[in-house]
């Protein structure tokens, strides 16, 4: 990147800048003087001579000049804005792209907070400057030259006098501005420190809480802000000092003119006259206006330069990875990597001091499976990074006879897969994360669609013809790494849009019918209470029984139902209001009685109470009031609402509270029917009633398949239901559908909604999906359960038969599955051989085995 601000501006925006300069000259040299000239002419030639015709003509010309001047200024400002915004956008892109090229070790010493502060904050001020960088000095410079020219022609001596103070001004301003610049630099550094501090506090919040250091942290933060405050105050002082000097010198110039001019007129009459002095004072005023602007510009320019240089310096670390073509569909598939590594005297130094690999020499044959072992600090992880071209090195590392640093990243990215121990996922769906490894192929651009559009998928690279085949590949990869059960359960708990996937919805409806038939055919205790429009469901809440469907939006949700006007009308119409209030009152009494002595915070509340712990005092008071008031009339609106809400939450078969008789159930079913039939049209559009033959979009796949409530009082009902649902799903080829739905599961921020082992499986699936020629693992299965590790290693090795695998293994005994074992010690190769050989002879490997309590 250009090291100087002006070079950057000229290289990135020379053409619009030239247009801007042209406009500035036009305005400053031509239109502005023209307007002044016309004014003078109107006064002298038209008004002075009482010439109406001339007045009309000159005024028309003046109006024209004003319009042209205004129009050009408008164009200039817009163009400046355009240049500013374009350059700001491009600069931010350039900087981000630079981050993507930072060598891996650089990230250890770079804070995200600073990078964000630089790209968003520091660069912001540059934007405005980009637009006026050349046009402002051009405009005011032109004005200044015009005025000076005029003065020199009229009276060179006085002109010289008018400018005599300019060098003094330049001297002071430059001197002071230099100090401002140095302070600005300090300020930027301090503000960056502030970003660091915020980032660190967020990252270490657990430590802060654990050690009760909030006050300490806050005080440190305040101290930093105080220093920034001091620097900023200094900058203010200097800025206003500069302003003061400028103002003084300007007025001092006037003083000089008046003094010398007056003296001349009085002492040497004839050499100078009053008229000339007045004209000169005017000209001096005109001279000073652009001069002042130029000085302001100089100050702004200095600030911009300091910022630019400081930002650029932080984005130019040594060892920057090569530039990549942003939107060139460059394919690197023409070469197939064999995966033969030859390392000679390879050295890797971390943080400039720690030698992680020390003149290491080793070879890995093509298609070989090699396990790397060694204690912590042996350099094993660095070796894995090195082989994946993730770390700069000295010495020689050859891949297929070519120096690794010369192998294009495009080739590495497509054919080498690296999986480390602690995986971070992108905040997206499982699918997005798995196919991420294919996103190096920019989409074809029909009609010049933007590079951010399209799907950026290198299907060709993995030999998939279309998206369907890709999906099949993704599922296969997930199965290989043992993610399929997780996907299945994600899928069962996910929703789909039946309009977008009518075929899937109809197959799920078929599954629903089959499940119903299977349960109908079974004898013994029923396990599921299926929804039936004409029957009260005792395993559903009263609210669910009345609503009997899914409403979109808050208005028709179970929690707010008690307050819903249509619901209230229906309940009153069918005569259910009084029974519901009575039920609510009884439930409230029972709840208060049962829970009043339970200690606060007991999980009994969360698990069993119909009243949240926080609501208990309110309900206690309500119960006390109930003894004194008449339920149907004397109750305040709020209390009625509370009682109704409570009644609606009740699941009769589960809670066994209150009196639910046949008459009550009949009324509920009547309310259900009326609720649905008389639903206002606007609500009806957002309401899906339960219907045996209809898929409901708001329900999960499982809810749609089951279409009812599991009868928890029947022993093992849950188990039976699960088994049966799984059987039906497997028997009708629905497992894939469910797993595909599971692929759309959102993993949360950085994968936070998945367990560590699940995250790792997603990363492994990503690695396998791209069908790598070289697979490098660095304790990738560390978070797996011990018994799954060996199995997964074997499966991976089976899959990678005929291809190269280098794995830093999690446990020494896992190395037995590999062709060869490389034992590292202190960044050097200590031993190499097969597992049997190494275990059989005296040496480091055997020592490590014994130390780990494993049999040689």
Question: Which residues contact another protein by CB under 8 A?
Answer: 524-525, 586, 590, 593-598, 604, 607-608, 655-659, 712-716
Q: Rounded to an integer, what is the distance from CA 417 to the centroid of its chain?
A: 25
Q: Residue 505 or 591: which CB sits closer to another protein?
A: 591
Minimum Å gap between C-beta 583 and another protein is 11
CA-nearest of 213, 728, 228, 790 to 518 is: 728
Question: Between 655 and 816, whose beta carbon lies closer to another protein?
Answer: 655
Residue 658 C-beta: closest distance to another protein, Å? 7
Q: Quick one: 594 or 683, whose CB is closer to another protein?
A: 594
Shortest CB 720 distance to another protein, Å: 11
Which of 690, 696, 685 is closest to 498 using CA atoms?
696
The nearer residue to another protein, 185 or 518, going by C-beta atoms, is 518
- Residue 54 CB neighbours (<10 A): 16
Which tokens in the block code for residue 425?
């996922």
Phi and psi of 504, rounded to 5°? -65, -45
* Three-state DSSP state, 636: coil
146 membership: H or E segment, kind and range: helix 135-154
- What is the DSSP annotation of 362-405? EEE-TT-EEEEE--TTSSHHHHHHHHTT-S--EEEEEETTEEGG
Contact of 796 with 790, CB cutoff 8 Å:
no
**C-beta of 621 vs 656, nearer to another protein:** 656
Token digits for 844? Answer: 């480091």
Give the integer Cα–Cα distance in Å for 537 and 542: 8
Q: What's phi and psi for 398, nearest 5 deg?
A: -110, 140
DSSP string, 160-215: HHHTTTHHHHHHHHHHHHHHHHHHHHHHHHHHHHHHHHHHHHHHTHHHHHHTT-HH
Report the C-alpha gap between 433 and 444 in whole angstroms. Answer: 22
- How far apart, in whole angstroms, are the C-alpha atoms of residue 110 and residue 820? 38
- For residue 497 the two structure tokens come to 């849009």
Q: Give the shortest CB-656-to-another protein separation in angstroms.
A: 4
Closest approach, Cβ 609 to another protein, in A, equals 9
CA nearest neighbour of 105 among 339, 355, 325: 355
Q: 383: closest CA among 778, 793, 818?
A: 778
Instruction: Pick between residue 651 and residue 805 the one whose CB is nearest to another protein.
Output: 651
In whole angstroms, how close is the CB of 605 to another protein at the nearest point? 11
Q: Which of 403, 395, 370 is nearest to 384 (CA)?
A: 370
* Closer residue to another protein (CB): 624 or 712: 712
Residue 600 C-beta: closest distance to another protein, Å: 15
Name the residue nearer to another protein (CB basis): 168 or 663: 663
Between 18 and 663, CB nearer to another protein = 663
> Phi and psi for 687 in degrees, rounded to 5?
-125, 130
The answer to whether 812 and 848 have CB atoms below 8 angstroms apart is: yes
| Cβ contact 554:539 at 8 Å | no
Nearer to another protein, 62 or 608 (CB): 608
Please tell me the number of Cα atoms within 13 Å of 240 on its side-chain side.
Answer: 5
State which residue, 113 or 658, has the beta carbon closest to another protein: 658
CB 511 within 8 A of CB 705: yes
**Is the CB of 9 or the CB of 651 nearer to another protein?**
651
CA dihedral 601, 602, 606, 610 (to 10 degrees): -100
Question: Cβ of residue 640: shortest distance to another protein, in angstroms?
Answer: 22
Q: Cβ of residue 644: shortest distance to another protein, in angstroms? A: 20
The full DSSP string for 501-541 is -HHHHHHHHHHHHHHHHHHHH--SS--EEE--TTS--TTS-
Residues in the chain: 856
The minimum distance between CB 406 and another protein, in angstroms, equals: 60
- Residue 603 CB, shortest distance to another protein, in Å, is 8
Q: What is the dihedral of CA 840, 844, 848, 849, to 10 degrees?
A: 0
Q: How far is the CB of 726 from another protein (least distance, A)?
A: 21
Residue 353 vs 607, nearer CB to another protein: 607
CB closer to another protein out of 549 and 658: 658
Tell me how far the alpha carbon of residue 838 is from its chain's centroid. Answer: 48
- In contact, 421 and 778? CB cutoff 8 Å: yes
Report the alpha-carbon distance of residue 116 to residue 99 in Å, rounded: 11
Residue placing its CB nearer to another protein in the complex, 531 or 595: 595
Q: Minimum distance between the CB of residue 525 and another protein, rounded to whole angstroms?
A: 6
Q: Minimum distance between the CB of residue 493 and another protein, rounded to whole angstroms?
A: 23
Q: In angstroms, give the least distance from the CB of 631 to another protein.
A: 17
| Shorter beta-carbon distance to another protein: residue 61 or 594 | 594
Kindly state the smallest distance separating residue 813's Cβ from another protein, in Å: 30
């Amino acid at each position: 990147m250009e090291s100087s601000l002006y070079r950057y501006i000229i290289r990135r925006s020379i053409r619009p800048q030239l247009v801007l300069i042209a406009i500035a000259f036009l305005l400053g040299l031509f239109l502005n003087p023209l307007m002044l000239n016309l004014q003078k002419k109107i006064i002298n030639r038209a008004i002075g001579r009482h010439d109406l015709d001339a007045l009309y003509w000159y005024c028309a010309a003046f109006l024209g000049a004003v319009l042209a001047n205004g129009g050009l200024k408008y164009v200039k400002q817009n163009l400046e804005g355009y240049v500013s915004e374009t350059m700001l956008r491009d600069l931010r892109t350039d900087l981000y792209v630079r981050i993507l090229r930072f060598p891996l070790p650089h990230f250890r010493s770079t804070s995200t907070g600073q990078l964000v502060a630089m790209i968003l904050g520091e660069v912001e001020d540059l934007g405005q400057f980009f637009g006026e960088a050349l046009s402002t000095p051009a405009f005011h410079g032109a004005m200044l030259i015009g005025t000076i020219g005029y003065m020199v022609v009229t009276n060179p001596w006085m002109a010289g006098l008018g400018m005599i103070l300019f060098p003094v001004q330049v001297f002071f301003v430059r001197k002071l501005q230099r100090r401002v610049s140095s302070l600005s630099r300090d300020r930027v550094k301090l503000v960056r420190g502030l970003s660091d501090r915020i980032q660190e506090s967020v990252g270490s919040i657990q430590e802060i809480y654990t050690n009760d250091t909030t006050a300490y942290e806050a005080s440190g933060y305040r101290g930093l802000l105080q220093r920034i405050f001091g620097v900023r105050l200094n900058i203010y002082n200097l800025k206003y000092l500069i302003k003061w000097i400028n103002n003084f010198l300007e007025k001092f110039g006037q003083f000089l003119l008046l003094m010398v001019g007056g003296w001349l007129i009085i002492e040497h009459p004839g050499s100078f006259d009053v008229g000339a002095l007045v004209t000169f004072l005017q000209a001096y005023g005109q001279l000073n206006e652009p001069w002042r602007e130029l000085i302001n510009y100089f100050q702004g320019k200095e600030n911009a330069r300091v910022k630019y240089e400081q930002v650029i310096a932080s984005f130019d670390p040594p060892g920057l990875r090569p530039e990549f073509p942003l939107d060139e569909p460059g394919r690197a598939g023409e070469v197939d990597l064999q995966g033969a590594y030859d390392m000679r005297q390879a050295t890797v130094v971390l943080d400039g001091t720690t030698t992680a690999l020390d003149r290491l020499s080793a070879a890995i044959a093509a298609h070989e499976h090699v396990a790397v072992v060694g204690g912590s600090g042996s350099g094993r992880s660095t070796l894995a990074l090195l082989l994946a071209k993730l770390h700069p090195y000295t010495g020689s590392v050859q891949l297929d006879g070519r120096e690794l640093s010369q192998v294009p990243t495009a080739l590495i990215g497509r054919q080498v897969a690296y999986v480390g121990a602690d995986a971070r996922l992108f905040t997206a769906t499982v699918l997005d994360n798995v196919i991420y490894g294919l996103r190096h192929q920019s989409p074809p651009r029909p009609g010049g669609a933007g590079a951010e559009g399209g799907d950026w998928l290198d299907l060709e690279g993995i030999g998939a013809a279309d998206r369907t085949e890709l999906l099949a590949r993704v599922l296969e990869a997930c199965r290989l790494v043992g993610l399929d059960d997780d996907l299945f359960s994600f899928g069962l708990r996910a929703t789909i849009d039946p309009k977008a996937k009518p075929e899937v919805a109809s197959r799920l409806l078929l599954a629903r019918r089959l499940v119903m038939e299977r349960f109908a055919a079974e004898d013994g205790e029923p396990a599921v209470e299926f929804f039936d429009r004409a029957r009260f469901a005792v395993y559903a809440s009263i609210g669910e029984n009345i609503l009997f469907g899914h409403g979109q939006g808050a208005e028709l949700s179970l929690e707010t139902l008690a307050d819903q006007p249509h619901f209230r009308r229906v309940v009153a119409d069918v005569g259910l209001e009084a029974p519901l209030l009575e039920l609510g009152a009884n439930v409230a009494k029972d709840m208060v009685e049962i829970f009043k002595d339970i200690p606060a915070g007991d999980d009994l509340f969360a698990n069993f109470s119909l009243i949240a712990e926080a609501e208990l005092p309110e309900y206690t008071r309500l119960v006390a009031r109930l003894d004194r008031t008449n339920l149907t009339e004397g109750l305040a609106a709020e209390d009625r609402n509370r009682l109704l809400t409570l009644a609606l939450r009740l699941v009769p078969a589960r809670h066994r509270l209150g009196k639910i008789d046949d008459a009550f159930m009949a009324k509920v079913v009547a309310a259900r029917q009326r609720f649905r039939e008389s639903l206002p049209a606007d609500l009806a559009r957002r309401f899906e009633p339960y219907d045996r033959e209809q898929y409901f979009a708001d329900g999960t796949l499982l809810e749609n398949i089951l279409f009812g409530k599991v009868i928890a009082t029947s022993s093992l009902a849950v188990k039976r239901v699960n088994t049966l649902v799984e059987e039906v799903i497997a028997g009708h080829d629905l497992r894939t559908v469910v797993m595909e739905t599971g692929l759309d599961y959102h993993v949360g921020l950085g994968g936070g909604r998945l367990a560590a082992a699940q995250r790792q499986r997603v990363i492994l699936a990503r690695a396998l999906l791209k069908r790598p020629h070289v697979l490098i693992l660095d304790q990738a299965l560390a978070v797996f359960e011990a018994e799954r590790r060996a199995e997964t290693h074997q499966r991976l090795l089976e899959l990678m038969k005929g291809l190269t695998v280098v794995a830093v293994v999690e446990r020494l005994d896992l190395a037995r599955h590999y062709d060869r074992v490389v034992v590292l010690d202190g960044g050097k190769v200590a031993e190499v051989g097969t597992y049997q050989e190494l275990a059989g002879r005296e040496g480091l490997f055997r020592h490590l085995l014994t130390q780990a309590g494993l049999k040689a």
